[in-house]
């Protein structure tokens, strides 16, 4: 059944994964003169914008061109209690994910900016289509309603942190601020 395959793909891709490295990090470097907002200002912006996203819901319509079937899933993503700590170079938060009325995740997460390896931004449709191809389902396609944008932060190992936005300008601003904070904390923006 397509639902079982899809939910397995979501879980395998790790909607949100969190781990503790147990490593100690050096204090973040001071902001170089003239290179943009300070780390404290940037982290404050991230905290405000991520908390503003709150509870988001959308329906994704799927189509399989191999057998011309269609199906939908309803998603609810909620982020809360975001605390961006400039002195520790971390963003802590709580998130919940519900798919078709079934709660899949209800967890706390903590992103250490010094461990960031890459930052990317994509649309929900592109992200789902890429996951389906990787899972061996190249004939599947997805269309979210309303459309949304995803900021994906790759930590060390397989840790990935996902942040969702309906507004593209907000997604772009948060992605840029995240990259700036990562640089100030000594992480890597990767290809972004």
pLDDT tens digits along 5-29: 443 334 333 334 333 333 334 444 4
Report the alpha-carbon angle 180-181-185, nearest 5: 120
Kindly state whether residue 106 falls inside one of the protein's structural domains.
Answer: yes
Kindly state whether residue 21 falls inside one of the protein's structural domains.
Answer: no
Kindly state whether residue 192 falls inside one of the protein's structural domains.
Answer: no
Kindly state whether residue 70 falls inside one of the protein's structural domains.
Answer: yes
Of all residues in the chain, what percent carry a pLDDT higher than 90? 76
pTM score, whole prediction: 0.81
**Dist. CA 66–CA 43, nearest whole Å:** 46
Structural domain that includes position 65: 2-16+37-185
Overall domain count for the chain: 1
* Alpha-carbon dihedral sign for residues 132, 96, 49, 60: positive
Residues 53 and 79: beta-carbon distance below 8 Å: yes
Kindly state whether residue 116 falls inside one of the protein's structural domains.
Answer: yes
Burial letters 119-141, b for 16+ CB under 10 A, else e? bbbebbbebbbebbeebebeebe
**Dist. CA 45–CA 184, nearest whole Å:** 14
């Amino acid at each position: 059944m397509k639902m079982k395959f899809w939910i397995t793909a979501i879980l395998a891709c790790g909607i949100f994964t969190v781990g503790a490295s147990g490593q100690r990090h050096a204090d973040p470097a001071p902001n170089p003169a003239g290179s943009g907002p300070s780390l404290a200002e940037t982290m404050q912006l991230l905290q405000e914008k991520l908390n503003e996203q709150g509870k988001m819901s959308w329906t994704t319509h799927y189509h399989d061109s191999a057998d011309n079937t269609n199906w939908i899933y309803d998603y609810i993503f909620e982020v809360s209690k975001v605390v961006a700590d400039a002195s520790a170079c971390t963003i802590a938060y709580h998130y919940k994910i519900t798919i078709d009325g079934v709660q899949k995740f209800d967890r706390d997460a903590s992103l250490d900016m010094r461990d960031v390896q890459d930052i990317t931004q994509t649309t929900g449709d592109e992200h789902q289509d890429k996951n389906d191809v990787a899972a061996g389902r190249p004939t599947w396609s997805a269309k979210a309603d309303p459309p949304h944008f995803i900021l994906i932060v790759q930590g060390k190992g397989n840790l990935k942190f996902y942040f969702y936005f309906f507004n593209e300008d907000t997604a772009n601003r948060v992605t840029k601020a995240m990259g700036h904070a990562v640089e100030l904390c000594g992480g890597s923006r990767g290809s972004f």
